[in-house]
C-alpha cells in the first residue's frame, strides 16, 4: 500500500523512483523530443518577464537574498540556483558566468517555461507537478541535453498552502548528494517563514491603520486604558464629549468620578454596562452614559479596558425615537405548495417589484405580516426601514400621534422634543398598516389625505412633512362589506385596493400544506420528535380557525405535554376545541368568529391569556373582539 506524501515533503527513494518513472511515461505521451529539447518552447517577451517579476516582487527579493547565502556555502562556479513561478516560468537564476552560459544554451534561463508538457521530466517540472521536493540525477532527466547534470527542487508555498514558486539548484552529476535536496528544501521553508513574517507585518500595519480609522469613525466616544488605568487612546468623538484634549498617557482619574475598578470589570463585565456619570468641567456638567469591557490576551491575561460612552442627550434621542421592526422574513419563509397559496405568493412577488399600495386580505393567523415583510425584503426598499403598526390594537385617541407624531408641547404629557410618527420613521421604506379594517372612522379620513398628498402633519405642527413610505395594508375584515355597512370609507378602500392579495386560510390549503407546516414547526422547535399517523390525521381533519398561528401554537403545546418523542393525537389537544366545521348553520364569518370566541371564553372561564393562546391571536385582538361582539356581558 502506497504511503501518502504531503505537499512540500521529501519523498522516499521508492516514491522518488515511482514519480520519475511516471513522469517519463507522461513525457513520452506528450511527444517531448529527447534529443533536441524545446525547439518550440514557450518563452516570455522581455516586457512579459518584467511584468511577472513585479507580481512576485516580494518573493523574488527574499529568494535573491537566499541565493546569495547559498553561494557562501556552495561554489557559484559549480551550481546554478533558480526560481520558477507557479506556472513554471523561470524568473531568476544565479551562478558564475560560465554556468549561466551553459544554462542559457539549454534554455534554462529567465523567460522560459519548464512544465512537463514543455520540457519533459526535470526537477522543476516534476516538483511543479507533484508539489514535493524532487532530486534528479543524470538519466533521470528525460531530455539527453540534461544528462550529466544533477538537479534538486523544492516547492515554496504561500498563504493557505497555495504554491508560489519552485526553488531549484543544478550542477554537474559528480556533485550529486542527498544533502543538496535537504538543503534546498530547508531554504524553501526558510523563504516561506520569511514571507509569512512579511505578510504578518503588512497585515499588522494595515490592521493598525484600519483599527485607528474605525475608532475615529465610531459615532460614540471610545477610550482605551492599560492595566494601570492610563489612557492609551481616545477618539475624536470622545474628546468632544469630554471636552478635553491631550489625554493620552494620563491616568483616567484625571476625568473625575468614574471610579473604575479593573478587577471588577474583568470579573463582572455585565455590571459595567450603561452606567451614568457626571463630570464637572469648569462650570459645565458633562452628563454621559458609559460601558466598560475588559481587554484580555489570548492567554486570558488582563491587559486593560475599553470604554464606550455617549452623551445623555444622544441617549435620550435614541430612546425617544421609535424604531420599526426589522423585516426578517423573505419569500423563502413562506411555506406551502397548494395552488391557492402559490397564487398569493406569486402575486406578492410581482407586487414587490413596484411601489404600489398593497392590500393583504386574510383571516387572523394566516401570515399577513410575513407576506408584508417578504414583499418589502424583495423590493428596492429592502435596506430601508420596515415599520409595522397594528391599527386595531391602539386606541383611536392615540393612533394619530403614533402614525403622524407630534411636536413638543402639543398636548399634556407630550415628551420634550416631540416624537416622530410611524410615517416619518418609514419614509424611504415601508409602513405596514395591520388590521386597517379596525381603524376608527375619523382616522380613515386623515389616512386618506396622506395617501392622496404624500404629506403628514404631526400633532401641533404648523408645517406638513413629506413622506415617501410605501404602504402595505392588511386586514381580516371584509372591506367591501364594511364599505356597504358604512364602517369603512369607500374612497379609502379604493386608494388601498390597488394590488389586492388574498391569503387563503389554512383549511383551504389542503393536507399537504398542513403536513409540511407541521413538520416545519416541529423541526424548528425540537427536531428529535416526530408525529404519529393518528396525529397527522387529527392535524389534517381539524379546521384551524386560528390558521397557521394556531398550528404553530398547537405543536409547541404538544412538545410540552408529550411523554416521549412521538407526538400523538391526544398530545395535540384538538378534540375538545371548537371548530368552524362544528358550528351549526355557521352563517357569516363574523358569526363563526363570535361563536368561536364565546365558546373558548366559556371553556377557559374567561381567562383572556389562555383563550388568546388557544385561538392563536394576541390578547389585544381578543379584548377588541370581545368589545366588538359585546361578549363582556357574558
The string of DSSP codes covering 430-460 is EEEEETGGGS-HHHHHHHHHHHHHSEE--BT
Confidence of residue 621 (pLDDT cuts 50, 70, 90): confident
Measured between alpha carbons, how far is residue 47 from residues 54, 164, 212, 600 in Å? 11, 21, 40, 86
Above pLDDT 90, what percent of the chain?
Answer: 38
pLDDT at 633: 45
Which pLDDT score is estimated for 401? 87
Tell me if 218-320 shares its fold with 508-633.
Answer: no
Q: Provide the pLDDT confidence category of residue 105 given band limits of 50, 70 and 90.
A: confident
What class, spelled out in words, does domain 218-320 have in CATH? alpha beta
Separation of alpha carbons 238 and 286, rounded Å: 12
Above pLDDT 70, what percent of the chain?
A: 89
Structure confidence at residue 373 (pLDDT): 94
Q: Of 8-17, 217-226, 339-348, where does mean pLDDT reach its minimum?
A: 217-226
| Annotated domain spans of the chain | 13-199, 218-320, 331-502, 508-633
CA–CA separation, 96 and 102 (whole Å) = 10
Q: Any residues with CB less than 8 A from the CB of 608 and at least 6 apart, and which?
A: 619, 622, 623
- Confidence tier at 125 by pLDDT (50, 70, 90): very high
User: How would residue 74 be classed by pLDDT, with cut points 50, 70 and 90?
Assistant: confident
What integer pLDDT is reported at residue 577 of this predicted model? 62
Task: Specify the DSSP class assigned to residue 539.
Answer: H
340 confidence band (pLDDT: 50, 70, 90): very high
pLDDT of 179 > 90? The answer is no
Q: Does domain 508-633 have CATH number 1.10.8.60?
A: yes
Q: What is the number of residues in the chain? A: 634
Kindly tell me if the per-residue pLDDT of 107 is higher than 60. yes
The hierarchical CATH code for the domain 331-502 is 3.40.50.300
The per-residue pLDDT for 314 is: 62
Name the 3-class secondary structure at 389: strand
Q: What is the mean pLDDT of residues 93-116?
A: 89
13-199 — its CATH code?
A: 3.30.450.40
Task: Answer whether residue 356 shows pLDDT above 70.
Answer: yes
User: Alpha helix (H) ranges present in 508-607?
Assistant: 510-525, 533-541, 547-561, 569-572, 589-603
Q: How many CB atoms lie within 10 A of CB 472?
A: 30
pLDDT, position 316: 39
Is the model's pLDDT at 187 over the cut of 80?
yes
* Residues 6 or more apart in contact with residue 457 via CB below 8 angstroms: 404, 463, 464, 465
Q: Cβ distance 472 to 375 under 8 Å?
A: yes
User: How does residue 322 score in pLDDT terms, banded at 50, 70 and 90?
Assistant: very low
pTM of the model: 0.47
What is the model's pLDDT at position 86? 93
The answer for 211, left when phi > 0, alpha when psi is -120 to 50, beta otherwise, is: alpha
Nearest one of 615, 366, 616 to 506, comparing CA atoms = 366
- pLDDT given for residue 584 in this prediction: 37
The pLDDT value given to residue 582: 43
pLDDT at 3: 56
Highest mean pLDDT among 274-278, 320-324, 439-443: 439-443
Pick from 33-42, 62-71, 357-366, 482-491: least confident: 33-42
Amino acid at each position: 500500500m502506497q504511503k501518502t506524501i504531503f505537499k512540500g515533503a521529501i519523498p522516499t527513494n521508492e516514491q522518488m523512483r515511482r514519480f520519475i518513472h511516471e513522469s517519463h511515461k507522461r513525457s513520452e505521451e506528450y511527444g517531448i523530443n529527447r534529443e533536441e529539447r524545446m525547439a518550440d518552447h514557450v518563452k516570455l517577451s522581455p516586457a512579459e518577464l518584467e511584468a511577472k517579476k513585479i507580481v512576485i516582487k516580494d518573493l523574488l527579493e527574499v529568494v535573491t537574498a537566499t541565493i546569495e547565502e547559498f553561494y557562501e556555502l556552495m561554489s557559484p562556479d559549480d551550481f546554478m540556483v533558480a526560481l520558477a513561478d507557479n506556472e513554471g516560468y523561470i524568473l531568476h537564476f544565479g551562478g558564475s558566468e560560465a554556468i549561466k552560459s551553459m544554462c542559457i544554451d539549454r534554455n534554462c534561463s529567465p523567460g522560459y517555461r519548464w512544465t512537463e508538457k514543455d520540457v519533459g521530466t526535470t526537477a522543476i517540472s516534476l516538483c511543479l507537478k507533484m508539489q514535493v521536493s524532487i532530486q534528479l540525477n543524470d538519466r533521470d532527466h528525460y531530455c539527453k541535453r540534461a544528462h550529466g547534470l544533477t538537479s534538486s527542487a523544492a516547492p515554496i508555498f504561500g498563504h493557505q498552502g497555495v504554491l508560489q514558486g519552485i526553488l531549484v539548484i543544478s550542477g554537474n552529476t559528480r556533485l550529486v548528494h542527498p544533502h543538496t535536496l535537504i538543503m534546498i528544501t530547508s531554504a524553501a521553508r526558510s523563504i516561506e517563514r520569511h514571507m509569512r513574517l512579511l505578510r504578518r507585518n503588512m497585515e499588522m500595519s494595515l490592521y493598525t491603520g484600519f483599527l485607528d480609522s474605525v475608532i475615529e469613525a465610531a459615532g460614540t466616544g471610545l477610550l482605551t486604558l492599560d492595566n494601570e488605568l492610563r489612557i492609551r487612546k481616545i477618539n475624536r468623538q470622545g474628546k468632544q464629549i469630554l471636552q478635553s484634549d491631550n489625554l493620552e498617557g494620563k491616568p483616567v482619574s484625571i476625568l473625575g468620578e468614574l471610579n473604575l475598578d479593573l478587577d471588577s470589570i474583568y470579573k463582572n463585565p455585565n455590571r459595567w454596562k450603561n452606567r451614568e456619570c457626571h463630570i464637572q468641567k469648569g462650570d459645565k456638567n458633562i452628563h454621559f452614559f458609559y460601558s466598560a469591557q475588559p481587554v484580555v490576551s489570548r492567554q486570558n491575561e488582563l491587559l486593560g479596558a475599553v470604554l464606550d460612552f455617549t452623551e445623555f442627550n444622544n441617549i435620550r434621542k435614541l430612546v425617544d425615537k421609535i424604531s420599526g421592526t426589522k423585516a426578517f422574513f423573505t419569500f423563502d419563509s413562506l411555506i406551502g405548495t397548494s395552488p391557492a397559496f402559490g397564487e398569493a405568493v406569486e402575486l406578492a412577488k410581482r407586487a414587490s417589484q413596484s411601489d404600489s399600495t398593497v392590500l393583504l386580505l386574510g383571516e387572523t393567523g394566516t401570515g399577513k405580516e410575513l407576506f408584508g415583510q417578504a414583499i418589502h425584503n424583495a423590493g428596492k426598499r429592502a435596506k430601508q426601514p420596515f415599520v409595522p403598526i397594528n391599527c386595531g390594537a391602539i386606541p383611536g385617541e392615540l393612533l394619530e400621534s403614533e402614525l403622524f407624531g407630534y411636536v413638543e408641547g402639543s398636548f399634556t404629557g407630550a415628551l420634550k422634543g416631540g416624537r416622530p410618527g410611524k410615517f416619518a420613521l418609514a419614509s424611504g421604506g415601508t409602513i405596514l398598516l395591520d388590521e386597517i379594517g379596525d381603524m376608527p372612522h375619523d382616522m380613515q379620513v386623515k389616512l386618506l389625505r396622506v395617501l392622496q398628498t404624500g404629506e403628514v402633519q404631526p400633532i401641533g405642527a404648523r408645517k406638513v412633512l413629506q413622506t415617501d413610505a410605501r404602504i402595505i395594508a392588511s386586514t381580516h375584515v371584509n372591506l367591501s362589506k364594511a364599505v356597504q355597512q358604512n364602517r369603512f370609507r369607500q374612497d379609502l378602500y379604493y386608494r388601498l385596493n390597488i394590488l389586492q392579495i388574498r391569503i387563503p386560510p389554512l383549511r383551504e390549503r389542503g393536507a399537504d400544506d398542513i403536513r409540511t407546516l407541521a413538520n416545519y414547526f416541529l423541526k424548528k422547535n425540537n427536531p428529535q420528535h416526530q408525529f404519529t399517523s393518528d396525529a397527522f390525521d387529527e392535524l389534517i381533519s381539524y379546521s384551524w380557525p386560528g390558521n397557521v398561528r394556531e398550528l404553530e401554537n398547537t405543536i409547541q403545546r404538544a412538545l410540552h405535554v408529550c411523554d416521549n418523542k412521538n407526538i400523538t393525537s391526544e398530545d395535540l389537544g384538538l378534540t375538545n376545541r371548537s371548530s368552524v366545521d362544528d358550528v351549526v348553520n355557521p352563517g357569516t364569518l363574523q358569526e363563526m368568529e363570535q361563536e368561536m370566541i364565546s365558546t373558548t371564553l366559556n371553556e377557559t372561564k374567561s381567562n383572556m391569556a389562555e383563550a388568546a393562546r388557544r385561538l392563536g391571536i394576541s390578547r389585544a385582538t381578543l379584548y377588541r373582539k370581545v368589545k366588538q361582539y359585546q361578549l363582556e356581558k357574558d
